[in-house]
Amino acid sequence: MKTIIFALDALELTLIDLWRLDEFKQKNFGSYEVVGLEALSTPICFSAILTGKNPSTYGYTLSYLTQNLEQGYPTWLQPLVWVRKRFLRNVKSLGMRRKARTIGLFEAHSRNMTEDQKNLTVLMRLESEGYTVRTDNVPSYDEDAQANFRGRMIHLIGKGFEAREEHVEELLIATRDRWLRNLEVLDSHDLTFIYSPLPDIAHHLVHHEMELMLLERVYRSLIDLPLLFELKDVAVLILSDHGYLHEFDETGKDISAEHSHVGFWSLNVDTEVVPTTIFDFSELIYHLVTT
C-alpha cells in the first residue's frame, strides 16, 4: 500500500486531548513506550524507529553524535572545545559554537547514521526489495546538517516572546512548504517519510503558562495542513518520537519542561501490527508498504 509517514517531533497526546484535536486520532491510534534508549534524543529515537533495534547495539550513540559535532570545528580549534567541555562544564554557555559559526569557523557536520548502520533500517530493506522510498530530513537518516532551526532555538531560550514566536512561525511555514512539496510527488513513491521539528521546538520555547497559546496554535496549524486527513488509498501514519510535558508553578512559570517516555501514533487504516514500544515501528512500516 502506498504509505506516507508524517513524523511530528514531541507530539503530546495529553495536549491533543486537552485541546480536543480529535483530527489527530485517526482510525487507529494510541501511545507507546520509549524504552531502553541511552537518551530521549531525537536522532537516537528515530534510529530506533527505523531499525527496530536499540541504537547503542550498533554504535549510534550520544558519543558518536558529539564526535561528529566537534568535527565541525577546524582541527586547531578542537583542543579548545575539549578544554571547554572538560574544565568548564558547569559554566554558563559561552556561545562558542554560535560565535564560531558567525565568523566561519564552524560548519555543521552530519548526525546521520553511517551507511552500514543505514543498512539496518526498514527504509533500506524496502529499497532492496524494489520499493521506491522518499525521505525528507528524517533525523539519523537524511537530516540536513546545515539546517539551523534547532541551533537557533537554543539561543532563543530565555529571550523575548516575540523572537521565539517569530522562529516558530518560520518553522510552520517551512513545514507546510515541505509537506506540499512531498504531496506533489507522492504518486511516484511507495513510501514517503517526512519529518518536522514541530511541535518540539515550540515546546522548548514556551516558558510560561500564558504562552501555551503559541503551542496550541502550532498544534492547530498542523492539523490544518492540506489533505493531511483526506488522502485516498494511502496509508497515513502520524507519529512522534517521544512526548513533552510541562509543569507550571503558582506564578505560571514553567519549572520542569522535559521530554517524556511516551510517544503517540495514529493511522488511517487497519493494521495487524500495533506498536507498543519504539522498536515496533520498523515492522509496522514494512507491513504497511508491503501489504
d(CA 194, CA 125): 18
Q: Let me know if residue 137 belongs to a domain.
A: yes
Q: What's the domain count of the chain?
A: 1
Q: Let me know if residue 75 belongs to a domain.
A: no
Give residue 128's pLDDT: 98
180-232 pLDDT, tens per residue?
A: 999 999 999 999 999 999 999 999 999 999 999 999 999 999 999 999 999 99
Q: Let me know if residue 235 belongs to a domain.
A: yes
Q: Let me know if residue 88 belongs to a domain.
A: no
Residues sharing a CB contact under 8 Å with residue 286, sequence separation 6 or more, in sequence order: 122, 125, 126
- For residue 28, the enclosing domain spans 3-58+115-290
Q: Let me know if residue 93 belongs to a domain.
A: no
Q: Let me know if residue 177 belongs to a domain.
A: yes
Q: Let me know if residue 76 belongs to a domain.
A: no
Q: Let me know if residue 107 belongs to a domain.
A: no
Grid coordinates representing 224 are 490544518
Best CA proximity match to 203, nearest among 229, 177, 241: 241
> pTM of the predicted model, to two decimals?
0.85
What is the pLDDT averaged over residues 87-107? 49
121-178 pLDDT, tens per residue?
A: 999 999 999 999 999 999 999 998 556 566 677 788 888 999 999 999 999 999 999 9
Total count of residues recorded for the chain? 291
CATH code, domain carrying 179: 3.40.720.10
The strand ranges marked E within the chain are 3-9, 28-33, 133-136, 191-199, 235-239, 243-245, 258-260, 262-267
